[in-house]
Amino acid sequence: MTRPEQVKIDEFYFGLVLNDHERALKEVAEFVREYPKNLDLLNTFADDASALMRFDIAEDAEHRLLGTPPFRKSSTESVLALWNEQLARNEFPSAAGTAKQARDDIPDLFQGPYLEVISFLAEGNIDKGEAEISHLREQQLAQASLWLGGLLDTYKGRLAAAQRQWTEYLGIVQDTSETWVASEDVAHLWLARICLLAGDAEAARKHLNQVQKVRDEYLAEAGKYYARLGDTQHAEDILGRLKSHLAGRATNQNRAIIQLVEGEIELKKGNARKSFELISTAAQYPWAYSFIPIKESLANAALSSGHYDIAVSAYQEIVDKRGFAFSWDRPDDWIMAQYGLGHATDLQNRRDLAPQYYKEFEYLWHEGDHNLTPLREARKRISELAH
């Protein structure tokens, strides 16, 4: 057995058998330090670091994988990963630069427009984002323009418009097996989240019923939304599927998504204390694929159980990861965390902080749909706290 093969086996053993992901990462790190030209394991190292949200380490590894410019088409995977790491670290100029360089160096890179638009929106450069989306429409690039247009509408709080664009997007991806943005099932999950936020429970449930072929983390998120809709039977069904599928793989990350669904079900049943305990345990393990859904649930459970300081901390963690939220197409979660900070500090009777957070949220969604409950509530509390 070669040394690289042994390292790969050790990584698998430490990570998935012993549930020691830090040890697995350390094993690969030591090897690539000794053999920096082994690109296969350097790529593994970058992927592992990113999944564990060690974005600084992952970014450095991707730079080493890419070498000196220009970018090559064969390095597309590393280009996309580098952009993700930069965005996750809120390095907005760097991410925008990587997106532009990718489009210049790899003209037929079909993800190019997506990288640039998300970079603009994450940085708050709405005008450039809108201009690029309009350009995509002119080029009749329907998938890109509809998905990104929906994200722009979501960023502005125009959830009804976002639903229309993403529903039209669904009509396109249903007719093709090729998509570079979101699969049909993921699009349904994203629509369910938006519908839930807009207060349209029937539409949210309809979309959730279509979520089948997704990662375990996304399936757990669907279970979370079923629980919030009061459909604990469907939430329990998903919990059972997860437990069956993940049996024998009791890693921290897998346990966390199970605890997430369990906690949401307990909260809906009125067991706020038990819910808080379950989701607090889940939130101990940083995992990129489920970080935001679990942190949002932690904040919600903390509010329900009177742990307002924990809620503030959880919402602040989401707010601090603006670029990360946008790289996962979740501007709504980032913006709603601003509202969450207002609500949590309001419950703490922090009249010095709550109005600031509410105003920041209202500023972000000042063009939002007039019937959005969080927007109406924020405006009401801004007025009341001013007196």
In a domain, 317, yes or no: no
Q: What pTM did the predictor assign?
A: 0.95
CATH number of the domain within which 176 lies = 1.25.40
C-beta contacts of 179-185 below 8 A and 24+ residues apart = 179/143, 180/110, 180/111, 180/114, 180/143, 180/144, 181/114, 181/143, 181/144, 181/147, 182/147, 182/329, 183/213, 183/214, 184/210, 185/210, 185/211, 185/212, 185/213, 185/214, 185/218
Low-confidence ranges of the chain (pLDDT < 70): 13, 16-17, 175-180
Indicate whether 86 and 140 sit together in one domain: no
Can the peptide bond before residue 93 be classed as cis, meaning omega within 30 degrees of 0?
A: no
How far, in Å, CA of 97 to CA of 102, rounded? 8
What residues make up the domain containing 64?
1-107
In a domain, 26, yes or no: yes
Show which of 83, 107, 131 is a domain's final residue: 107
In a domain, 166, yes or no: yes
Indicate whether 16 and 61 sit together in one domain: yes
pLDDT at position 180, please? Answer: 65
CATH number of the domain within which 35 lies = 1.25.40.10
> Position 302: which residue type?
A
| Three-state DSSP class for residue 36 | coil
Indicate whether 194 and 99 sit together in one domain: no
pLDDT at position 3, please? Answer: 79
pLDDT at position 13, please? Answer: 66
Indicate whether 1 and 92 sit together in one domain: yes
State how many domains the chain has.
2
In a domain, 41, yes or no: yes
Indicate whether 99 and 178 sit together in one domain: no
pLDDT at position 173, please? Answer: 86
Show which of 214, 247, 274 is a domain's final residue: 214
Count the residues in the chain.
Answer: 387
Indicate whether 124 and 67 sit together in one domain: no
Show which of 107, 132, 164 is a domain's final residue: 107
